[in-house]
Amino acid sequence: MKSVFTNIDCVSFHVDSLDEGIAFYRDSLGLRLLWRTEDSCGLGMDEDISELVLTTRDIPIAQFKVDSVDAVLPVFIAAGAVVDYGPFDIDIGRCAVIRDLFGNRYCILDMTNGKYATDENGNVTGVK
C-alpha cells in the first residue's frame, strides 16, 4: 500500500511577532528565510525537505504534503478520520484539517498550483 503522505511539509510554531521569530530562528539558529506573508513565514533547514513555519495565526502544528487533497480525503474518511475543516483553496494548492482516531489534529496540503515566488527579501510576490 502506498502512503498517502509524501513528506512532512512543515512544522508550525506560533509567534507573537514574525520579526522576533525570524530574529531567533534565522539570525540566532541559522535557518534561511524562504518566504514571508503578512502573518506567516517559512524557514528552511540544511536538507531542504521540510520547513519551519512561524505564524501569528492558530493553525495545527504539523502539516503533511499529499499529491492531491481531494484524492486522499476519502481514504482518511474511510479509515475513520474526521475532516475538521475543508478542503479549501490556498495560494499554492488545496488544504484540509484532519482529526485522526486519537484526536490528533493536522493539515494535509498539496501544491497543485506551484510554489511561492518571492522577491530578494523573501516577500511572497505570487505563485510560480
Tell me the domain boundaries of the chain: 7-115
pLDDT digits (tens, 9 = 90+) for 49-84: 899 999 998 887 899 999 999 999 999 999 999 999
Average pLDDT estimate for 29-58 = 93
Our CA angle for 60, 62, 25, nearest 5°, is 100
Does position 45 have pLDDT exceeding 90, yes or no? yes
Three-state SS annotation for the chain: CCCCCCEEEEEEEECCCHHHHHHHHHHHCCCEEEEECCCEEEEECCCCCCEEEEECCCCCCEEEECCCHHHHHHHHHHCCCEEEEEEEEECCEEEEEEECCCCCEEEEEECCCCCEEECCCCEEEEEC
What CATH number was assigned to the domain covering residues 7-115? 3.10.180.10
pLDDT digits (tens, 9 = 90+) for 90-116: 999 999 999 999 999 999 999 999 888
Phi and psi at residue 124, to the nearest 5°: -70, 125
